[in-house]
A and B are shown apart, each in its own frame.
Chain A
Amino acid sequence: MSVVTVQLGQCGNQIGHEVFSALCSDVRGTHGLCSRKENESYHDSCKERFFCEEESGVPVARAVLVDMEPKVISQTLSMAARSGHWKYNSHSHFCQKQGSGNNWASGYSVHGPRHKEAIMNLVQKEAEKCDRLGGFFTIMSMAGGTGSGLGAFVTQCLRDAFPTSFILNHVIWPYGTGEVIVQNYNSVLTLSHLYQSSDALLVHENDVIHKICAQLMNIKQISFRDVNQVIAHQLGSVFQPTHTAGEGSSYSRNPLGDVMEALVPHPEFKLLGLRNIPQMPENSLPYSTFSWPGLTKHLRQMLIANAKMEEGIDWQVRPPHPGSSIPSTNKPLHFNTSIANLVILRGKDVHGVDLGSFQDPSLYTSWLNPQDAFSAWKTPRAFNKYEKSASVVSNSQFLLKPLDSIVGKAWNMFASKAYLHQYTKFGIQEEDFLDCFTTLEQVISSYTNL
């Protein structure tokens, strides 16, 4: 089954380009470290999911590019074409001239309805090219105007037009100290709307990725390109083909559906965080060796201690004693309670790895059996030059603090009524804001009481 990607706004388009680049270069690489048969299977599966063939033989990304001003899209299209290894369909993009001015209301209430038909036509065309449609993957930031506002509107349209398809929104959370002054308003409006129409929100925070670039990747002058490449690597580690049904099975064909089944048992809980190890500069890779026990141990501790990366993990954090039912107020501080987790392992000798420690019932809420709360996907085919690579996608309290912080700051600004006139002039009123705040306080409360 194929996934149609919708890239929204400057951020969405810049990241989308890095994602397809990473997928393509991984597939073309010779570092698979597995049998030729395995490699071919992997290649075919990836192609089916994300690309379609053209007569020229150059794979064409299954993507629709949307932005309200032309500079980024034209840059993105030409960068892809210049690579020679893949490209975008030259017709699958929509842009306007003026941009959304970082105004969620402008993106949602003005541009959305105005351009709905044109955008949905492009999406429909891409969907029709798929033999079987596996769902939609949207990439957007929530701080600006287009990705956030128009993105929320488009997600709603996707839900209306494709009621039975999976929709996964990849959302970028901005730096805490601001890229956009009204980013907290835009974030609150985006998240509350996406929560209604989307199946799940997969989140990356700029602050976290920035730290990874600085401390793990040793990059001196970090550019947005560096940040986006780390994000693309992490996404690739989740969405490249895997055997979800154990050794000997063929590659899974329904990546989005599998994610939803594994991680989203209840519609109130849709926030997914992502951690990936190891992360290091490319030129250090030949000098490093990894062991699965080491990697899985670190990954598990990162999960339960809510560490953002593999350095600076707090090893003191331990799960509560098993067997006793403990009210949430008595749980150890800083312990990250999970609803469901998905671990993905890629590389040599992967099928023998023991992941029992992830099935420890004390990691989870009591609603699901630990066997149902935990899923593991594996492939012996190494990913992106890393001999061994492990990721965890987690529906847990990972994002509770950041979400609470964003809502707090937005509420603080809302109480002073600052900037509201910019939104009301496009039809978003104070009551709409209040509804959004209520929705998110509900989400915060639900996650807090796990």
Chain B
Amino acid sequence: MTQSVVVQVGQCGNQVGCRFWDLALREHAAVNKKGIYDEALSSFFRNVDMRGGGNDPDIYKGKICSLKARALLIDMEEGVVNEILQGPLRDVFDSKQLITDVSGSGNNWAVGHKIYGCQYRENIVEKLRKTAEHCDCLQCFFIIHSMGGGTGSGLGTFVLNLLEEEFPEVYRFVTSVYPSGEDDVITSPYNSVLAMKELNEHADCVLPIENESLFEIVNKIHQMINSGKLGSTVKQNSLVTSSAGSAKTLQEKPFDAMNNIVANLLLNLTSSARFEGSLNMDLNEISMNLVPFPRLHYLVSSLTPLYTLADVNVPSRRLDQMFSDAFSRDHQLIQADPKHSLYLACALLVRGNVQVSDLRRNIERLKPSLHFVSWNQEGWKTGLCSVPPVGHSHSLLALANNTCVKPTFIELKDRFMKLYKKKAHLHHYLQIDGMEQSCFSEAISSLSDLIEEYNELDATKGGPRIDPLRLKIAV
């Protein structure tokens, strides 16, 4: 069994991260009734004996003493991290896992990346090493951050770089929250594009998220509950947005519902690696199957179902509906429509009481309406995990490497160019030590190249299928 470490950077990163740890504890509590520290728990948590008084050695077996998250919390202002440390999750983190400063990055990527990066480099490396030492077999780093600000974006991508240098063999999965069009941070296009270059070059897989999509999903759920159309009541703790049953019973903040969706994404992504199933799908398999060319590693994700009704017997029709929903526009976590673009690869990770025949039936049913690239016509990666998420009898996570990310990137480029042409706010960046005009031109060029790669693939869509000639054997 392998371990993963979560590195949460900046305000967004830490708020999402906080929700993740809360829901992870809830999930394991539901599965692990006897309170034994098992392998599944060890993938994200250490079991520590607190009586040592400062030394806190790890305990590898037996009853749970005190669980500590395998995490690094980084923020250049103290507000968010302090709040976490005063909240119900305070015992899950210890002070050795935090790196904070006071004044923040002023929504400036260069401040986060160049100034704080330089300043905190050694501190970060040391803390990463310590966390890695506590791991038997470290497989993956999960980075959670936003792209539009200064810390998450700048310092977050600095840490990404660092991880590649210091731990080249460990996978780097990045969950990035992209800014929306009406973002109130004016310089978010600059920050995002500068960060994109780092993601292009140093991440193994990126899961882009857009706030708009999360917001729409939250609204959809509210509508469904309040409309009274459903008949039976909805199981509260089954909402993909809910914190019910978790440690955080204080009043929910507005972003909590949205952040819970992202937290659930990460839990489902790692479920097959932690729990048993008839067809396991580990994190290294996700990277292997969904990344056909090194730079095309942006995966569009969708989670279903969003909620479960209280009635227990789920007819197979509802199961099929779950699969259909995973491919609909409304369930994607970015503003994109994979169904009408080109699939390079698709992964389906099912949890709960679903068998291979259900999977096969739905793949057969949905395949005709989807466009797959010519060299991967039957490119499906599937996984079956027996343990369902809390409150559900089954669930589905779909990850698609699909050209539908292109519009998101094109829009980002456009917003960038609008500012850049006028050189608006550029001086805030260029006055930072280590920043030059070339940083900007290289970043936009990297993004343009990426868009071009997607363009070339899109050009093949719908064209005639010409299979390459096979080798001929002399008889």
Interface residues of A (CB under 8 A from B): 10, 14, 69-72, 75, 97-103, 145, 175-182, 210, 213-214, 219-225, 227, 407-409, 411-413, 415-419, 421-422, 437-438, 441-442, 444-445, 449
Contacts and interface: CB of A to CB of B under 8 A. Distances in A.
Interface in B422-475: 467-468, 470-473, 475
8 contacts: A14-B278, A102-B381, A182-B288, A210-B356, A210-B357, A210-B360, A221-B358, A411-B468
A180 B470 contact: no
Given A10-B279, A98-B137, A442 B357 contact: no
A263 to B, nearest CB: 24
A223 B353 CA distance: 10
Given A69-B1, A179-B279, A418 B284 contact: no
B292 A178 contact: no
B280 interface: yes
A345 B214 CA distance: 62
A441 to B, nearest CB: 5
A408 B355 contact: no
Contacts of A220: 357
Given A70-B1, A179-B279, A421-B293, A413 B285 contact: no
A178 B382 contact: yes
Nearest to B347: A181
B94 interface: no
Q: Which 8 A-B pairs have the closest CB atoms?
A: A101-B284, A222-B357, A178-B380, A418-B292, A415-B468, A97-B137, A416-B375, A223-B355
B357 A221 contact: yes
Contact of A69 (B282, B355, B473): B282
Interface in B275-314: 276, 278-280, 282, 284-285, 287-294
Contacts of B473: 438, 441-442, 444-445
B348 to A, nearest CB: 10
B289 A181 contact: yes
A400 B467 CA distance: 19
B334 interface: no
Contacts of B279: 10, 179, 224
Contacts, number: 143
Nearest to B139: A98
B367 A177 contact: yes
Contact of B380 (A69, A181, A422): A181
A101 B285 contact: yes
B378 A178 contact: yes
Contacts of B345: 181
Contact of A422 (B288, B344, B364, B471): B288
Contact of B378 (A10, A409, A444): A409
B332 to A, nearest CB: 20
B236 interface: no
B379 interface: yes
A418 B376 contact: yes
Interface string B354-380: 011110100110010000001111111
Contacts of B294: 421
B39 interface: yes
B1 A222 contact: no
B91 interface: no
Interface string B128-167: 0000000011010000000000000000000000000000
Contacts of A69: 1-2, 280, 282
Contacts of A445: 473, 475
A438 B2 contact: no
Given A101-B282, A415-B375, A422-B291, 6 more contacts: A14-B278, A70-B39, A103-B284, A179-B382, A224-B356, A421-B294
A105 B288 CA distance: 11
Contacts of A97: 1-2, 136-137
Given A210-B360, A413-B375, A99 B288 contact: no
Contacts of A102: 284-285, 288-289, 381
Nearest to A70: B1
A181 B347 CA distance: 9
B355 A181 contact: no
Given A177-B380, A437-B471, A224 B278 contact: yes
B314 to A, nearest CB: 12
A329 B333 CA distance: 55
Contacts of A182: 288-289
Given A71-B276, A71-B280, A102-B289, A408 B470 contact: yes
A222 B289 contact: no
B287 A101 contact: yes
B475 A449 contact: yes
A418 B471 contact: no
B225 to A, nearest CB: 30
